[in-house]
Amino acid sequence: AQKITQTQPGMFVQEKEAVTLDCTYDTSDQSYGLFWYKQPSSGEMIFLIYQGSYDEQNATEGRYSLNFQKARKSANLVISASQLGDSAMYFCAMREGLGGSSYKLIFGSGTRLLVRP
């Protein structure tokens, strides 16, 4: 069963506008963590933001914020004031069982974001 679903294969956004990248997840664990990574064309994986299942508030990191809706099992990434350098693939990932020892992340299939000038 697919545990991380990113339904938008590709997205366009105008420079300086905000964009939301969707992510839904499926888990029976009470403790889990949700991550977003950016992969530019150069290929490296860049950590953007993290949300723990017990965190009361939505995570924010600069222009990135995570819209965490636990009941809906969604963890959408919001990028404000888009820049040309934001053009990249974006991956949502989940880590189950935070008390355990494994960082076995489960990744979604990604969303390719293109920022238009």
Q: Of 30, 47, 60, 81, which one interacts with another protein (CB under 8 A)?
A: 47
Residues in Cβ contact with 76 at an 8 Å cutoff, skipping those fewer than 6 apart: 20, 21, 22, 23, 66, 67, 69
Q: Of 25, 36, 68, 91, which one interacts with another protein (CB under 8 A)?
A: 91
Q: Of 45, 81, 84, 114, which one interacts with another protein (CB under 8 A)?
A: 45
Which whole-number Å values give the CA distances from 77 to 1, 44, 46, 65, 97, in the listed order? 23, 19, 14, 6, 22
Number of residues that bind another protein (CB under 8 A): 28
State the Cα–Cα distance between residues 74 and 66, nearest whole angstrom. 10
End-to-end CA distance of the chain: 39
Mark the segment that binds another protein (CB under 8 A) among 14-22, 61-69, 73-81, 97-105.
Answer: 97-105
Q: Does 81 bind another protein (CB under 8 A)?
A: no
Q: Does 99 bind another protein (CB under 8 A)?
A: yes
Question: Would you tell me which residues interact with another protein (CB under 8 A)?
Answer: 4, 31, 33, 35, 37, 42-45, 47, 50, 52, 54, 91, 93, 98-110
